């Protein structure tokens, strides 16, 4: 019978990647503990086991590690106390979050709004108790941007490349082709736009991301736009980068 092949040992790069992944996972779990104590006022091992799919011993280690962090923090504090009657860790009177931004009212209410409108992904939702929310304004349906379009836009921005897009216009109710040089994203409170120079109209424009039907992979550097001057004789040349967009700046 043939001997089973020996499994190759991890390379240094593999070990480094594995170590970084474990650190990142632990960081998220510590952030989770911090958030649950702040918002729910309590946490137990089962919360960690259920959310992160880890073992009970690992959950115990994470809670112990969290306790060590708050004891070494400035100012030193307790943050959590084990309630033997409830069999959970409860928020201590001296609680100060380790992650103040994650536990800030701004983040809490932003996430709460997303939860109430089904826009917060499950792996980002740290809520245990979720208060009832009444939204007193109309919400547009969740708009989906394909990963391919997002990556092509980012690639074009990073290297200042031209990008061919097919765009669905509301005014004309048809799909138009444009050659653009994108440089920034913008959010108006309701939807995301991409700010770009349009070679077809010889000006900078905003394009709603969810109306971009398709894109080609960007490969060509975005040149300055040179075209016949509509006012005078000769040609006019315009830069197509973000620094050249006066209205944006």
How many other CB atoms sit within 10 Å of the CB of residue 152? 22
Per-residue confidence (pLDDT) for residue 14, from 0 to 100: 45
Return per-residue pLDDT of the chain as tens, 249 residues.
444 444 344 455 444 444 444 556 899 999 999 999 998 899 999 999 999 999 999 999 999 999 999 999 999 999 999 999 999 999 999 999 999 998 988 888 888 888 877 888 888 888 888 777 766 555 555 667 888 999 999 999 999 999 999 999 877 678 899 999 999 999 887 888 999 999 999 999 999 999 999 999 999 999 999 988 877 778 889 999 999 999 999
Helix, strand or coil, per DSSP, at residue 83: strand
Per-residue confidence (pLDDT) for residue 112, from 0 to 100: 86
* Nearest one of 163, 169, 200, 166 to 182, comparing CA atoms: 163
Residue listed under structure tokens 């240094």: 12
| Helix or strand holding residue 237 (H, E) | strand 235-238
How many other CB atoms sit within 10 Å of the CB of residue 212? 22
Per-residue confidence (pLDDT) for residue 22, from 0 to 100: 56
Per-residue confidence (pLDDT) for residue 118, from 0 to 100: 81
> Helices (H), strands (E): how many in the chain?
5, 10
Residue listed under structure tokens 């971009």: 212
Peptide bond into 185 cis (omega under 30): no
């Amino acid at each position: 019978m043939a001997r089973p092949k020996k499994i190759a040992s991890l390379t240094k790069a593999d070990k480094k990647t594995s170590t970084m992944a474990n650190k990142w996972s632990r960081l998220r779990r510590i952030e989770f503990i911090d958030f649950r104590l702040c918002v729910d006022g309590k946490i137990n091992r089962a919360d960690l086991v259920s959310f992160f799919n880890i073992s009970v011993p690992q959950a115990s280690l994470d809670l112990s590690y969290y306790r060590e962090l708050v004891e070494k923090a400035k100012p030193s504090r307790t943050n959590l106390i084990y309630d033997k009657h409830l069999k959970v860790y409860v928020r201590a009177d001296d609680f100060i979050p380790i992650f103040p931004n994650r536990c800030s009212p701004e983040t809490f209410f932003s996430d709460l709004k997303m939860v109430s409108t089904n826009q917060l992904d499950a792996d980002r939702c740290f809520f245990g108790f979720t208060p009832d929310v009444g939204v007193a304004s109309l919400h547009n349906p969740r708009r989906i941007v394909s990963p391919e379009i997002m990556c092509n836009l980012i690639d074009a921005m990073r290297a200042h490349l031209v990008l061919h897009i097919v765009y669905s216009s509301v005014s004309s109710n048809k799909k138009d082709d444009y050659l653009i040089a994108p440089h920034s994203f913008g959010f108006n409170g309701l939807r995301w736009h991409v700010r770009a120079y349009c070679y077809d109209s010889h000006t900078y424009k905003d394009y709603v991301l969810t109306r971009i039907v398709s894109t080609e992979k960007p490969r060509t550097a975005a040149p300055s736009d040179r075209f016949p001057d509509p006012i005078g004789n000769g040609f006019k040349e315009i830069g197509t980068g973000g620094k050249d967009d006066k209205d944006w700046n």
